[in-house]
Structure 1
Amino acid sequence: MKMFYLRQPYLLQHLKQINKPVENTDLPRKNSLKTKRTAFVRNSSSFSLSLDSNYHDENGPKIQCTVIFQLENELGLAKSLKYFQDHGVHVLHIESRKNVNDADATEVVCEIEGTENSIMSASRKIKPSSLTYSASEEVSSIKESDEYEYVWFPRKITDLDNIAHRVLILGEELDDDSPGSNDPEYRKRRKMFTQVALNYKQGTPIPIINYLPSEKQTWGKVYKKLSSLYVKYACREFLSNFPLLSMYCNYNENNIPQLEHVSAFLKETTGFTLRPVAGYLSSRDFLSGLAFRVFNSTQYVRHPSLPFYTPEPDCIHELLGHMPLLADRNFAAFSQEIGLASIGASNAEVEKLSKLYFFTVEFGLCRQEGVVKAYGAGLFSSAEEFEHAMTTPEKQREFNLEQIMDMECKVTTFQDYYYITESFTDAVQQLRQYAANIKRPFGVRYNPYTQSIETVSTTRHISSYARDIKAELTNLMTCLDNIELASKLATDHIESLHSNDESTEDIRSLSDKEKLDVINEMMNGH
């Protein structure tokens, strides 16, 4: 398999020009982007792509890039897309948006895949002045085969903006038999929540919602009912984090927490953040968010006529069900691993992963100190099913991946069975074993520094990955050495205090925790 690099010489050539500081540093971000965009337009005639000669192939390995061009009319779009089609360039994703420089103009964002020559040929056909930007990244040359078909996936956290609006069912589009479908005020309210979600951009503050008294009343009824069940049946991780949410995010019977506040709390505890969503996302799009440690959450509240039932996830489900465990490091890592496993996977594999997610994260049970406890968000937000799952032993089964893949995910009735894992670690291990069998010609890793998904498909990628791991291991060994040294100092200090004490040998056998306690006393001057 040959590796190649897609370059943009004009980006380097004009880097200083594009990044010149503006005189007025208080200008809004829009003007800053306008300056950069103008520079791209001015220099678009120098747009070029090149490959290292060592990797050149007359057939051309496949590359991926994003192009943005301005439309004069609908005919222009059809013509541009035909240029791509005629040159064998595959359009992976397309969307239109308003031009920041001209409110009356429309520009099109296309993520494309093809050979160097085909992309160059198609790009030359597009009016040069309309090509305002082209971004690219290093990718592996993935040959089409019966075993793998390329699937587009977000690579940067900001790419989540491209999928957040692809909801299967908008929050305002209620079925005729859904609670509130015949309530015009409720439908109007849901439409407002939909607009908030669709207008949201990744990384910006989540809008604060002024919840209605009726919505707070519904929340309060559910909160009060479930609180008594949590004490009896919830896992220790849930019970440890729930008080923290009360303390830092104002969780209580009379208040609906704001996603913005909960997101800030999760960011500091496990690195997860929230983003508002208008309704159901596809399994692929939802799991993609988890890969970035982003949880798509609704903000609307179920209809007050049925406070203990909802056919779709609402903010009560998200806030009471998911947030306490997303504040747990092990569970957060488990959620992200499911998301990463879905990246680039086939539709069939994503469907299986969504079942795994459903019967663990949503309706999972675990065994703690020999007692079955719940950790599923679907249980934590549904009082009736919560009690049913915990008081009906015949509905509880040991975790079995093969059985889970054959199960039906039910959203309007109770599940047929609830599966018990020995621990979160056990669930993660089984997930990893399953993910290892997913067929894709690359691995993936999340880069928290750039908030991006990196593909691992070449020896160069592996070397880079290994260097990062080596650096972490070196730091870990340094920490262990420091702890060992501190432990020795603590022992010597104790021996000096008890030099005439016959129990010196017993002191040598102090546990690491006891030694650290002594170290703390030493640091505090005792």
Structure 2
Amino acid sequence: MKTDAAGAPGRRASLQKDAEKETPATEPLGQGEGLVWEEEEGRATLILTFTLRNARKAGLSKTAKVFETFEAGIHHLETRQAKKSKNTTDDLEFFVKCEVHNSDVSVLINSLKKVAEDVKTIREERVPWFPKKIRDLDKCHHLIAKYEPDLDHDHPDESIFLPGFGMYLNKPVRGDPLPRVEYTVQETATWREVYRKLSSLYPTHACKQYLDAFQQLEKCCGYQEDSIPQLQDVSRFLKGKTLQTGFQLRPAAGLLSPRDFLASLAFRVFQSTQYIRHSSSPMHSPEPDCCHELLGHVPMLADKEFAQFSQAIGLASLGSSDIEIEKLATLYWFTIEFGLCKQNGSIKAYGAGLLSSYGELVYALSNKPEHKPFDPKLTAVHPYQDQTFQPVYFVAENVEDAKAKLQKYALKIKKPFSLHYDPFTCSIEVLNTPQKVKNTLSQMKEELKNLCFDLENIF
């Protein structure tokens, strides 16, 4: 469609003026009318259905003019013969998916009602905003505060508890890259005690992926008893040539909501703390500290399959409803934090909450708790315990199987679009039109073709 640049502003003003005289224009959209979702700030996507009488004569041109006037971007358009045709086959029903500025929604609908019949919009749940580029994570700072009066006065005063998620996050200077931290003699002593005791359990209690990565971290990142690794070095290792899992650490700007925390995982970014637990209780901490992040999470994030598993939870969270976010957060709890898996006829730990807690690691692999097979549908609604050891742990056949089941579960989360992550640009492509799906498929075919050429050259 071409837009008359000279006449459009005047016509739009005229239509707006006329619409303001009508009651429906200033009232909320009625039953069955609503926005589908917002793709860009200030822009809304609508799904419209309407009927045109004698469409091939004057009706079609008048309708087209309405869309042109409001500079609506047409994403999809279908026509079919009207079911209740009064006269001829020129009576058509239209299905249109279009994008328009938020402020023009009501006026466009009122204008359309003047030239068409049975104008309706299909109501779907509006999708919450979510980051589409890695830099958008700067906007993910929905902070939650919770006062913990029982904490010792010497407890790190920069930490805040994340309700229902079992996480504390610190607050470094906003925008600061991973700063290097000078740990005290007492903090280093606490790390030493935790490191010694946990590392003595890992050979018999940790999964193979963890053990392989831990060995590389000791070799390449200074993982040792008498020195606390710097997040900067560890993040560089995760993104580097050695493993190429693509994950990076990011100092949290404050307490993140479950939605914002999970969104970071979609971009392979892990929000991390930088303080050490209190020396009075080195074997247990109510909050994730450096021991939890460095000894629990990092080794598993260095495994490619587990990195994909973590990102899959993050991608599933983008645009999900609050109910689905709660389920995904519970899945995160029972897998990434407290997950178990089978290996060589035994049960091993891969969850960070277990691998950073001596007492619970021993308990989880004993015959005291109940072990259930991992099923995302059931696990997502199972109650969890954030004050003491879990009475129930979920056991995956292996990390690969857990990832496959999670991805299958994520496909059933209802959204009006699909998502594709581009690792080259670290951005999310919203696949909400056939053309976008075709473009993404074309890129994948090109990559596959290049891989086939590489394979031919090798052999």
The TM-score, its normalising length taken from structure 2, stands at 0.71
Counterpart CA distance in 2 for 1:63 and 1:402 is 29
**Is contact 1:241-1:328 (8 Å) kept?**
yes
Structure with higher helix content: 1
Match of 1:460 among 435, 441, 450: 435
Structure-1 residue corresponding to 2:251: 276
Counterpart CA distance in 1 for 2:375 and 2:268 is 26
Structure-2 residue corresponding to 1:233: 205
Counterpart CA distance in 2 for 1:482 and 1:408 is 53
Matches within 5 A, 1:350-429: 350-392=325-367, 395-429=370-404
* Cα offsets for 1:420-470 (capped at 9, x unmatched): 111111111111111111011001111122221111111111111111210
Letter in 2 for 1:200: R
Q: Is 2:166 the partner of 1:166?
A: no
> Residue 62 and residue 255 in structure 1: after superposition, are their counterparts in 2 closer, same or farther (change >3 A)?
closer
Counterpart CA distance in 2 for 1:168 and 1:272 is 25
Q: More relative contact order in 1 or in 2 (CA 8 Å, sep 6+)?
A: 2
Counterpart CA distance in 2 for 1:61 and 1:189 is 40
Letter in 2 for 1:175: E
* Cα offsets for 1:483-511 (capped at 9, x unmatched): 4x3xxxxxxxxxxxxxxxxxxxxxxxxxx
Alpha-carbon offset, residue 148 of structure 1: 2.1
**Is contact 1:278-1:298 (8 Å) kept?**
no
> Residue 334 and residue 217 in structure 1: after superposition, are their counterparts in 2 closer, same or farther (change >3 A)?
same
Q: Secondary structure at the match of 2:171?
A: helix
Counterpart CA distance in 2 for 1:159 and 1:248 is 31
Letter in 2 for 1:427: A
Q: Is 2:250 the partner of 1:250?
A: no
> Residue 160 and residue 420 in structure 1: after superposition, are their counterparts in 2 closer, same or farther (change >3 A)?
same
Q: Secondary structure at the match of 1:444?
A: strand
Q: Secondary structure at the match of 1:419?
A: strand
Structure-2 residue corresponding to 1:199: 173
Alpha-carbon offset, residue 242 of structure 1: 0.5
Counterpart CA distance in 1 for 2:209 and 2:370 is 23
Q: Is 2:134 the partner of 1:157?
A: yes
Q: Secondary structure at the match of 1:168?
A: coil
Counterpart CA distance in 2 for 1:443 and 1:357 is 21
Counterpart CA distance in 1 for 2:172 and 2:198 is 31
Structure-2 residue corresponding to 1:220: 192
**Is contact 1:62-1:116 (8 Å) kept?**
no
Counterpart CA distance in 1 for 2:326 and 2:38 is 28
Q: Percent identity?
A: 45
Counterpart CA distance in 1 for 2:102 and 2:247 is 41
Alpha-carbon offset, residue 221 of structure 1: 1.1
Alpha-carbon offset, residue 319 of structure 1: 0.6
Alpha-carbon offset, residue 404 of structure 1: 1.3
Counterpart CA distance in 2 for 1:339 and 1:426 is 18
Structure-2 residue corresponding to 1:501: none
Structure-2 residue corresponding to 1:116: 101
Letter in 2 for 1:461: K
Counterpart CA distance in 2 for 1:265 and 1:471 is 30
Structure-1 residue corresponding to 2:268: 293
Deviates more, 1:342-351 or 1:274-283: 274-283
* Cα offsets for 1:276-328 (capped at 9, x unmatched): 11554221111100000000001111111111222221111011000001001
Structure-1 residue corresponding to 2:235: 263
* Cα offsets for 1:5-41 (capped at 9, x unmatched): xxxx9xxxxxxxxxxxxxxxxxxxxxxxxxxxxxxxx
Query: 5+ unaligned residues in a row in structure 1: which ranges?
Result: 10-49, 51-57, 68-113, 122-142, 486-526
**Is contact 2:342-2:398 (8 Å) kept?**
yes
**Is contact 2:417-2:430 (8 Å) kept?**
yes
Counterpart CA distance in 2 for 1:366 and 1:390 is 11
> Residue 225 and residue 464 in structure 1: after superposition, are their counterparts in 2 closer, same or farther (change >3 A)?
same
Letter in 2 for 1:159: D
**Is contact 1:330-1:424 (8 Å) kept?**
yes
Counterpart CA distance in 1 for 2:138 and 2:288 is 20
Counterpart CA distance in 1 for 2:254 and 2:169 is 11
* Cα offsets for 1:53-89 (capped at 9, x unmatched): xxxxx9999765458xxxxxxxxxxxxxxxxxxxxxx
* Cα offsets for 1:199-232 (capped at 9, x unmatched): 232xx63110111111111111111110111011
**Is contact 2:37-2:126 (8 Å) kept?**
no
Q: Secondary structure at the match of 1:466?
A: helix
Letter in 2 for 1:447: D
**Is contact 1:60-1:117 (8 Å) kept?**
no
**Is contact 2:209-2:300 (8 Å) kept?**
yes
Alpha-carbon offset, residue 117 of structure 1: 7.0
RMSD (Å) for aligned C-alpha atoms:
3.1
Letter in 1 for 2:329: S
The TM-score, its normalising length taken from structure 1, stands at 0.62
Letter in 2 for 1:156: K
Letter in 2 for 1:118: S
Counterpart CA distance in 2 for 1:195 and 1:365 is 25
* Cα offsets for 1:255-274 (capped at 9, x unmatched): 11111111100011211111
Counterpart CA distance in 2 for 1:327 and 1:393 is 31
Task: Report the count of equivalent residues.
Answer: 353
Q: Secondary structure at the match of 2:276?
A: coil
**Is contact 1:200-1:206 (8 Å) kept?**
no
Counterpart CA distance in 2 for 1:62 and 1:338 is 22
**Is contact 2:156-2:275 (8 Å) kept?**
no
Letter in 2 for 1:155: K
**Is contact 1:215-1:304 (8 Å) kept?**
yes
Q: Secondary structure at the match of 2:395?
A: strand
Counterpart CA distance in 2 for 1:308 and 1:457 is 49
Counterpart CA distance in 2 for 1:325 and 1:63 is 35
Counterpart CA distance in 2 for 1:217 and 1:472 is 50
Query: 5+ unaligned residues in a row in structure 2: which ranges?
Result: 6-11, 13-24, 26-33, 43-98, 107-120, 161-167
Counterpart CA distance in 2 for 1:460 and 1:394 is 51
